[in-house]
Structure formats: C-alpha cells, structure tokens
Structure 1
Amino acid sequence: MPLNGTERIDPAAIVRLSHAQSHLYAEVIQVMAERQMGWLRPLLLAEAEDESGAESPVPVKIHDLRQGADLLWPLDLLEPALDTEVLPLFSQLPPTDLLHLNGGETGGETAALSRRRLHQFMQQLWQANPVAFQLRQLEHNLAEKG
C-alpha cells in the first residue's frame, strides 16, 4: 500500500515501487518534502514468474541495479519495504566486490540489461500513474513562473 499523508520516509529506508508482478526496491537518499519527491538509489528489480496475477513467493528474475543511476520519484507512489521481503532478495545478489571484478556483470546478466529492464519498468509506472507525474510537472512549471 503506498504511503499516505501521515507516514514519513526517512533517509536510508528501503522502499518498494510496484507494478503488476514487478517490484523495484530502492534506498531513500533524501526526501524533498516541499516537492513531495524522493531521491532514490535503486537496488534491485524483482520480477515474478507469471503475469497471471498470482503472487509468487520467489521471483524468477532479480536484476541487480546497485551500479545504476539514482531516481527522483513521487513520494505517494512509494511503499515501505518489509525486512522479511527484502532480505531474501538481497541474499540472492552477488557481493559488490565481485561486481567490480566482473565489470558490472551479475551471473551472466549485463548491467545494460538491468538498466533496460529498469527503464521499461519506469515507463510502465509512468503510464499507470499519469496524474502523479502530470501534477508534479504542473507544480514545477508554476514554481518556475512564480
């Protein structure tokens, strides 16, 4: 369930963005309360086995995003991630020192593939939540004029 107006997100918290059977887990770097945006550092994208809507306890594919770029995202689309869901996923990621030795490859998956999947996931979220992004753009435009 996305955050409501009374919940707070603190820096260093792990949050989740969900769409269909995919979940992006990210660390909160900074909260920009006046803009209702969060600066996020993506950690991993977990994709479930099927798209039928049935919850799968173990995702088939985990994309390691720890070497990627940060994001700015509306706070109202974020969900707090529970330790019990995050820790099993993190245990499937390679150690970060191994990433540096392999040039960003994680078990045969290139960093480019992970970035591509993140980009696709973000596009799906934008399309599913157009109002959240249009309002942010309108607020930004008004602030620049004012």
Structure 2
Amino acid sequence: MGKKEQSTQKANQRVEAVLELLRKQSPLTLKQEKFCNNACVERFLKAKGDNVKKAAKCLRSCLSWRESIGSENLIADEFSAELAEGVAYVAGHDDESRPVLIFRIKQDYQKFHSQKQFTRLLVFTLEVATATMPKNVEQFVLLFDASKLTIIPF
C-alpha cells in the first residue's frame, strides 16, 4: 500500500471515529447523517488539528445550533419576500467554481424581522450555496451590499 492510500485510510478512520463518538452521544437523524458526510467531518477534523474528540465536540455543537434554528426545516417559501426583493441570493459562481452569495443590507430590515429570522435567511442562503458547490470546492464568496444603509453620525 502506497503513502497516499495509507493517508486516505487514516483519514477515513478518523472520520469514522468522529461519527462513532457522535452516535454514542445520541443517534443522528437522517438529515444530520447527510450533513455529516466525509467532506464535512474532514473539515471539522482539519479545523481541530485532526483531534477526533475535539472535532466530534465541535461538530455536535454545530448540529445542536442547526437544530436550535431549525435548519432542517428551512424552505424557500419562508423567505419569498426576501427572495423577491433580492435581499439574499446565490449569484452564480466565480472563476474558481466558488458560489457567490449576495446579501443586500437594508436600513429597515431589522424593524420588520427578528435577528433569528435574519439568521435563518443567512443559513438558508448558505445551504443553497453549499448544495451548488462542486466536490473539490471548499470555499464560497460572501458579499454584503450596504449601499442602502444610511449612517447617522453621533
């Protein structure tokens, strides 16, 4: 077995170890299982220096946060007004195949929407962008258009 194959085998073992720790804590839903694919778990491992326990803990926190905002139940209908107004959308891909997300920040958005609703819109848009990413792409471009904001001096 070559070095590359050994490295791939070790990476797969670490991914499985993270998933095993997660499942020991509590069973994963089908959507959580889908979210915790190899690429996802590898990103958490990379972020935590290949430490299986730390990656599992961080990923469990992520899953809990996603559950708290209801990310599994996000649908476009919930954001029909925002989508129609172009508040948030995926504007295609750049030259490196990264999704380009646009958020247009409007002065009065917070008057009519809660922070939780904005977070749900952000997560929905990120989920749409992530679904369009080719397998070899691990980044996206996020642009905030604040041209509609009025800054009031103190």
TM-score, normalised to structure 2, is 0.26
Select the structure that is richer in strand.
1
TM-score, normalised to structure 1, is 0.27
- Please say which structure displays the higher CA radius of gyration: 2
Select the structure that is richer in helix.
2
